[in-house]
Amino acid sequence: MADADVAGMDDRDGYTIRAFADDDRAQVEQLAREGLLVGHTDHSGSATESNPHGSGAGHPTPQSFWVVEAQGRVIGSIGMLQGDGDVGRLLQLRVAPQWSDDPRIAKTLVRAAVDCAKQRGVQKVVIESPGLEPMPSSGEESSIVRYLRSLGFEYTRTHEKGGRSNLEFYLNLYEEPRSTS
**18-38 pLDDT, tens digit each:** 999 999 999 999 998 888 765
Closest Cα partner for 65 from 15, 106, 116, 31?
116
Residue 178 lies in a domain: no
Residue 177 lies in a domain: no
Residue 102 lies in a domain: yes
The domain of 97 spans 3-172
**pLDDT mean for each 10 residues of the chain (181 residues):** 43 81 92 72 40 45 81 93 84 89 88 90 86 56 78 86 82 67 49
Residue 137 lies in a domain: yes
Q: Which residues pair with 169 in a beta bridge?
A: 127, 155
Helix, strand or coil for residue 154?
strand
Between CA 49 and CA 92 the distance in angstroms is 6
What pLDDT was estimated at residue 134? 53
Residue 154 lies in a domain: yes
Query: What CATH number should be reported for the domain holding residue 114?
Result: 3.40.630.30
pTM, entire model: 0.74
Number of domains within the chain:
1
Residue 180 lies in a domain: no
